[in-house]
Amino acid sequence: MSSRVWGVVAAAAALVLGACAPSDETPAERGRRVYLANCTACHNLNPSVEGVMGPRVLGASRDLLEARVLRAGYPAGYTPARETTLMQPLPYLAPEIDALAAYLGPAVGGKPPAAGGGG
């Protein structure tokens, strides 16, 4: 009886650990997780749509994401979607820029990998 209970506990622990550190996560999936956790207070859950505060960000290049997220700036020659300066830099996301670019960037062909719904 008690060994069966421990078996269940071990299986549950394995599930929880698996959910926290998925080893087969693609860069785009990681980027989506980072985006949902850090950006959707202002940007839309669906990055192809305007958010409550931030503009649509689908198709943002890696250069734009790096400049914007790390320094609240823009790449040289880029015409910003908005003239406001409300977004604060989030420099702790430096290790995640590649993942964000994989999720949002032009490489995804202008389509959100997860949500549908046109634009």
Question: What is d(CA 63, CA 66) in angstroms, rounded to the nearest whole number?
Answer: 5
CB of 14 to ligand HEC, least distance (A): 31
Of residues 39, 26, 23, 24, the one with CA closest to residue 108: 26
Of residues 21 through 50, those in contact with ligand HEC by CB under 6 A are 38-39, 41-43
As a whole number of angstroms, the longest Cα–Cα distance in the chain is 69
Q: List, in sequence order, every beta strand (DSSP E) within 1-119.
A: none
Of residues 60 through 119, those in contact with ligand HEC by CB under 6 A are 60, 64-65, 68-69, 80-82, 84-88, 90, 93, 100
Q: Which residues bind ligand HEC (CB under 6 A)?
A: 38-39, 41-43, 53-55, 57, 60, 64-65, 68-69, 80-82, 84-88, 90, 93, 100
